[in-house]
A and B are shown apart, each in its own frame.
Chain A
C-alpha cells in the first residue's frame, strides 16, 4: 500500500473508478459508522482473501456493487430534492422498480437496512453485535429502526413495508412511522391464506398504485412493468447459470460467501442498472470457467448462506462442503402470460416458498435436492425467528424422509452473531464430514439393488446398502 491513501486503495481494490464521487462518500460513511482506516486496510489485505474469490475481477465488482449502494446512502443525506423510496425484504421487487420508474427514473429505491447489514457485518466485518434486548428480534428489523433513530438515513417520501412471511416487519414499521411524519407509508401483507390470498394481495397492491398515481400525478405504464420483469428474469437466469456451473464443477470456483451474495442480488435493489448487473455477472461466469479452486467434496443446499457472517461459509469450505443452492429463494410463482400486472405482483408475493406451510416447503426443497443431486441440506440459521425457527426440526424430518439425504441443523443467527462460535461450528462440521465420508465409502463398496419407495422419485430413494459387519 506504501504511502497511498487508505481510502484510495480501498476503492481501487474494488475497482471503483468514480473516485470523485465515492471518495468523499466513503470518508463520510466511515465517520458516520466509526470505521477506522485500519479496518479498511484489514478488509482489503486480509478479509477479502479469507472469504471471497477476489482473484476474479468480476467478483470484486459484485462486492463493489454492495459497497456503492451503501455509500450512496451518504449522498442521500445531502440530497433533499431526490425522491426516496424504501422497502424491506422480502418484497415485491418488480413492483418496487416499476413504482420508481413511473415516479422518477432518478428516484432512490433502496433496502438500506439489508445493504447496511451486508456491508457492515459481511464485507467490512464489524465486530459490534446488534442489541436485540433479549427478545431476539430480527436484526435487520432492528437495523431499520436504528437507521432512522440514529439519523443514518433521511426520511423517505415513500416507505413500503412488506409482511409476506411474518408480520414482525409491519409491526416494527408502525413504530418507525412515528419518526416519519412526511412519509407516505404502505403496508402490504396478507391476513388470509389459501384461495383468497392472491386476490387480497392484489387489492392491496392496486390500492398502493392508485394512491401513488393520485398523489404524484403519474401514469403507470404496464409495458414498463413487463420490461422490468424481463430484466429481472435475465438476472435470475444468469445467477442460476453461474450456480449450475459451479454445481457441476469439482472445485470451489467461488466461495460460499460469494454465492450467498450473488443470490442476495435478487433480494436487494440497487442504483446500478439491472442490465449492467447482468453483464457483470456474465463476466463473472466467463471468468470462473477458466479457474479452479479447492476440491468440493459435498454439495449441499442451504436455507440461506449467512451473508452477514462469512465465517460460516468459510468453515464449510474448509471441510469441503459447497453451499450451492439457497432454498429461501425458491418460488412457486409461474408467469402465465395472462396475468394483469397487479395480479402478477400478487402472484410474486404469495409464490415465495418461504411463505408457505412447512409441508409445501419440504416438498419443493426435496424436489430440488433430488433433481440437482445434492448431498443434503443445511438448516439452522433462523433459529431466532418465530416463523421459521420452530419448524426447522419438522422440515428436517420431512426432507430426510422424502429424499433419504442428510439434513443438518447448526443453530446460529443469519443476521447477528450474538451466539456464533467458530470453534464450536468447526467441531460440528468436522463431525458431519466424517459421517458423510463414512457413508460415502460404504456406498462405494456395497451398493445393492435399489427398491424405489412408492410415491418417491427413484433418484430420491438413494442407494440402499448393507451395513458393514
Chain B
C-alpha cells in the first residue's frame, strides 16, 4: 500500500464511522419525545402551608415506607422541623429523627448537648416546617455530579440513577438544603423524588396523601387551573434559601424569617 492509498482508505474509514453517528444525531430520541410528548406541559411544584402543620410526622413515616428508606436509619427524604422562638429573642429548632415519630416532648433536642427545657410562658411563637427536596429549577446537585447519574426530568424532578452513581458525595455537598444522603442499603445518593413513580401515574405523593391536615400539596405550575398554581400565583408565598440562586420549587405559606 502506498501513501496515497493509505490516506484514501483512512478517509473512507473515518467517513464510514462518522456517518452512522450523524444519523443517530438526526433521530435523537430525546428530541423526538420532547416534540411529541406532553411532558413540557408539566412542571411539578410543591406547596406547604406551615399554618396547617402540627408536626405529627405522618408524612415522614409514609415517605419512609413508600420509598424503602430503612425505618430506623437516621436519614429521611422528608422531615419536619420545629421552631420555638422565646421572649429573649432566641430561636430553638430541632427535628428528632426527622420527626418520624412526631414531637413527643416539649423539650428541644440539642444533639450531643442533650435536651433543653423551654418554659411555656417564655415562648413567643412556635411552628412546624416540613422540608423535602426543592426540585430546583437550577439544581446544583445535578451540576456537580461527575458521571451524570443525577439528572433533571423535563417536568422538573431531579432523580438519581442508582446503577450509575459512584457514591462520591459531591451532590450531597452541593445541596444547600441538606436533602441528600447515602442510601443505607444501596450506598448511592438518595433524595426525595416527589414520589415520581406515583405522580406520573396521576396519584399524589405519599406524604401528601398521609398528611391529615392538608399542609402538603403537589401541583403543576404550568396548569393555570391547578389549585396549587392558583395559591402560588395569588397569595404571598416564600421559598427557602433564595440567595443560592437555585430557584427552588417548593413554596411555603407562612414562612418565618427564623426558618433555616
Q: A and B from one assembly?
A: no
Query: Which residues does B use to contact A, with CB under 8 Å?
Result: none
Query: Which residues does A use to contact B, with CB under 8 Å?
Result: none
